[in-house]
Amino acid sequence: MRGSEIHDEIVRTDDGIGRATNNYGGTEGGMTNGEPLVVRVAFKPISTLMRPLRSVDMVSGEESKAAVERSDVMAIPAAAVIAENVVAFELAGLFLEKFGGDSLVEVSRNYHGYMEQIGRPAAAGP
């Protein structure tokens, strides 16, 4: 795509200034921009081989066909759960880097103070 087709234009909104779209998934230059964070993940194809590919017999050195092989087709649902949790873990680490303290009370105070400073309501929580 051309840059002009995917850029998130800055526009006036009912709340002031915002983005017309969120094509970049809430990030710009490696930083969040206030839009919802969207993470896209891709996995390599499962190595199930239902149509034998060309291969070479390692003993004779002759051309042969690879064996038909089934692999774990349940890997993707499990991988999706793992990927979601890795993202959550990393976001929690960044949150604590910004608002950290020695206790949940201190973290909560730091977070609420920051949100008050920038004039936004704090998300529900501790």
For the record, the structure tokens of 14 come out as 């009912």
Question: Per residue in 35-57, pLDDT tens?
Answer: 899 988 888 877 777 788 888 98
Question: Per residue in 53-84, pLDDT tens?
Answer: 888 989 999 999 888 777 777 788 888 899 99
pTM over 0.85: no
CB-CB contact of 65 with 54 (8 Å): yes
SS3 7: coil
